[in-house]
Amino acid sequence: MALVAPARLAAAGPDGPDTLVSKPYLIRAAPSFPGGLFHWVDALADTSAGKTNAAHREQFLDTFGRPTPADRDKISEFVNARSEFLKRQQAEAARDGSQVRVSALLGIFCAAGSVEEAMATIRPRMPETAWAQLADALAWFRPKYEIIWNGGAVPSAFLSRARTDPHRGRLEDVLASMVRFYGVDAAEAKPPFVALVPVPPGHGTHAEAIGDVLLLEIRPNDGLADEASVIAHESAHWLWGLLQDERRKGLETFAARLDERGRETYALFHEAIPTALGQGVTDRVFRPGSWSLDDPWYHTFDVDVCAKSIYPVVRYTLESGGALDEAFLRRAIDAAERGPAAPRGLNPRSP
């Protein structure tokens, strides 16, 4: 089935985004129909890394009823095409050492101005049969997703609220302290683009950094205070990606010298540090009345507890102008290994 004509919005991609913050580095944001469509079908197929797959599937059932045999066939085509693209990535990585990103397709769709543009970008990178399957699956689900998308009403309303939010400067201050912490020249890097997509109310949200593209799910009525912690969390991943190779290798060499427990703790830091920065430091700035160590910060128990254990060290380091170096890591590892008991109200068996 051929792709239907594009429904490109004026601000549907990095050609015409809003400025979410302008310092210490530019963050651009816009509703992303291509990213939203791919992310939605990815969730229906349960091949997304998102935490909200069940929310999107529930929304499908509520809006369109049970999937038909044709729906299930198109999902199978999508899953196969996604798998074939990943195989090509893995083959390329074996040849040239390039990075394999499970969410690479999502990043391409989020960065594109239209579904057609994304499909043209990936066509040389996958078998023609798989490309046709992906095109067929997305074309099949697109009319349904256009109902969910509703002209980009949810992310557009978020941008309107964020544009006039008097506390944007607070986010810029937090990001400035994070830039100092990571010790990178963020202002000279390619600015990150935040692709905004809707998620049903009554659920959490999912966010994901794919290189310099950040996917951010938005619920109806979400404002900057609701999303600031997530923006900071995903920005932390982006800033880590800007570290010079020599410095990153130095930190990895330090970690390799640790005992087994220390190495296990260091492995958690990939998510625990961004969580302490986002759901810890930033959320406390934006939502002091509801911020709590007892509420879940992260969806897995080990990272959640680690982030809360190192939060005082992370906060002190930011406030004192410190950096992500070996001295910080020693303090953070000590804090994590002393770690608190499981926070009240958090079930270690919960997903």
Distance CA 70, CA 80 (A): 15
Residue at 237 is within a domain? no
Residue 188 and residue 335 share a domain: no
CA 338 to chain centre: 29
Region class of 151: left (phi > 0), else alpha (psi between -120 and 50), else beta: left
Q: Are residues 203 and 252 in the same domain?
A: no
User: In a 3-state reduction of DSSP, which class is residue 24?
Assistant: coil
CB 179 within 8 A of CB 189: no
Residue 35: both structure tokens together: 């990213």
What is the total residue count of the chain? 351
Same domain, residue pair 190 and 97: yes
Quick: pLDDT tens for 58-100.
999 999 999 999 999 999 999 999 999 999 888 888 888 777 7
- Kindly state whether residue 220 falls inside one of the protein's structural domains: no
CB 181 within 8 A of CB 323: yes
Whether 74 and 148 map to the same domain: the answer is: yes
Number of domains forming the structure of the chain = 2
Q: What is the pLDDT of residue 102?
A: 84
- Structural domain range at position 273: 244-351
Q: What are the tens digits of pLDDT across the range 2-61?
A: 333 333 333 434 445 789 999 999 999 999 999 999 999 999 999 998 899 999 999 999
3-state secondary structure of 248: helix
Whether the per-residue pLDDT at 155 is higher than 50: the answer is yes
Mean pLDDT over the full length of the chain: 90
Q: What's the pLDDT score for residue 4? A: 35
pLDDT in tens, 237-260: 999 999 999 999 999 999 999 999
- Residues 186 and 260 occupy one common structural domain: no
Residue 33's identity, in one-letter code, is: F
User: Which pLDDT band, with edges at 50, 70 and 90, does 274 fall under?
Assistant: very high
Given this model, what pLDDT does residue 16 score? 54
Verify that 47 and 183 share a domain, yes or no.
Answer: yes
pLDDT at 13: 40
Same domain assignment for residues 149 and 72: yes
pLDDT at 344: 40
Angle at 233 between CA 9 and CA 309, to 5 degrees: 160
Rounded to whole angstroms, the Cα distance separating 119 from 104 reads 13
